[in-house]
Chains A and B, each alone.
Chain A
Amino acid sequence: MMRRAQPWLGTIVEVGCIDADENLMIHACNKAFQSIEAIHERFSFQSKNSELTRFNQAPVAEQLTVSNSFAELLHLCLELNLHSEGYFEPCAGHSGCIKDIELNIENHTAIKKAYLTLDLSGIAKGYAVDRAIDTLVACGIACGWVNAGGDLRMFGSNVPKLHLRTPNLQNVTEEIWLQDAAVASSGNYLNPLVGVFNPKSEIALNSESAATVQASTCVIADALCKAALFLPSSHSIFNTYDAKVLWQS
């Protein structure tokens, strides 16, 4: 088994794999971290040179060409925004709203119909985890996981145990076993000053609010754990994406 961790995406990203061949594990982890780095560089809100920053700085009402992965993620964000009644809102805390983006998924072009600031922090970690998992699988690893600061996905049998950290920071939950699935959590309790806002009222969540969602991909778990802070676990969006709310407070 190999477990490695590096700082990416503004948090700590762990890559783990179980294989008899140590050199293969080193190679696969290196490649997985390279996948994370590529996503980090494309979708970083803080970086001056990321594709996201260039998109945010581009003029309104002009046709902008975006990369395949940018178009793919944007398409998903628009869909999630619709299904979540606007509670998944990547412009929250900044300005504008995502539905003012007109995306042409086939041509990979987008038009900002109004001024807006897109921040993919609520979904890019999950997307990066999925790309890193793809990389581990492509390298021939049979069992592994990627955990980007709590947004995590596992594949193969023999996967590690999982606990959820509770918002009071005193406990973790009982063990959860996941196979070929992802979970992600959200909450304000670690960073109350820069934490999560209700995108409709623009009021910050209280420190006890937290949610954890399980899904088959990490990008969905990551996005839906924000929606689960505001929507009941019975809401149709969780069924639509075949997701399950594991914790809600």
Chain B
Amino acid sequence: MSWPIALAIVAITPSAFAVDYLTVAQARKIIFPEAATFQEQDIQLTNAQLAAVGKLAQTPARSSNWKVAVALNAEDKPIGTIVIENVIGKFELITFAVGVSINGMIQGVEILSYRESHGGEVRLPFWRKQFVGKSLANPIRVGDDIRLISGATLSCNAMTEGVRRIAAVVAIAKTL
């Protein structure tokens, strides 16, 4: 299992808070309701493309490998691209989907899962590893999963940057 999905299934401990919002399939349907099918594509950016993405997004491109899904309408014509991405913010780890329409506009951004913890532990590989390989069969969620938290407002700069990066990747890689 890839770690974005594994991340969605985490325990609520006093120090951490996690929410699953949408599955990839639900997010695809919400962002491109007119799509009939989604065709998955692997994108491998060249060094020149990576540099171009960094310049366009005004943030480092991070990775040269991107998995995207092209949304096709009932006539099999491409109408947009969906990219799933993860960002680590200051206190949170977010998996989200971005839809980019055929004219390069952001069609929608949906958070798939969100995990908040207190600080540095999300950056530690051993801490992240505990979620790899976990599935719905692992009863690691404590208590009820419907919870809301009020506290000082988190900023979502890392995510805003992530959305910009995805728009740039789609533009440079010319997925459509």
Binding site for B on A (CB under 8 A): 1, 3-7, 10-12, 14, 26, 30, 125, 145, 147-152, 154, 160-167, 169-172, 183-191, 195, 210, 212
Contact = CB atoms under 8 A, between A and B. Distances in A.
Contact of A189 (B144, B152, B156): B152
Nearest to B14: A171
A163 B152 contact: no
A6 B110 contact: yes
Contacts of B146: 1, 3, 160-161
Given A12-B156, A150-B153, A190-B90, A5 B19 contact: yes
22 contacts: A3-B19, A4-B111, A5-B21, A6-B110, A7-B163, A10-B153, A12-B154, A147-B149, A150-B153, A161-B144, A162-B150, A163-B148, A165-B17, A165-B151, A169-B15, A170-B15, A172-B17, A172-B149, A185-B151, A191-B152, A191-B153, A212-B151
Interface in B135-174: 144, 146-156, 159-160, 163
Most B Cβ at <10 Å: residue of A151, A190, A195: A190
A212 B150 CA distance: 8
Given A171-B15, A185-B151, 11 more contacts: A5-B21, A7-B159, A10-B156, A12-B114, A12-B154, A12-B159, A125-B153, A152-B150, A160-B146, A161-B146, A161-B147
A169 B118 contact: yes
A204 to B, nearest CB: 13
Contacts of A164: 149-151
A188 B155 CA distance: 12
A7 B150 contact: no
A123 to B, nearest CB: 12
B22 interface: yes
A11 B94 CA distance: 12
**Majority-rule SS of A interface residues:** strand
A7 B147 CA distance: 19
B154 A149 contact: yes
Given A10-B156, A191-B155, A160 B22 contact: no
B123 to A, nearest CB: 15
A140 B144 CA distance: 26
B131 interface: no
B66 interface: no
A11 B19 contact: no
A187 B21 contact: no
Contacts of B19: 3, 5, 14
A5 B153 contact: no
A170 B118 contact: yes
A6 B152 contact: no
A12 B115 CA distance: 12
Nearest to A12: B156
A12 B111 contact: yes
B30 interface: yes
Interface in B72-91: 90-91
Nearest to B16: A172
B30 A183 contact: no
A29 B19 CA distance: 17
B148 A161 contact: yes
B148 A11 contact: no
A184 B150 contact: yes
Nearest to A175: B147
Contact of A152 (B17, B119, B148, B159): B148
Contacts of A167: 152
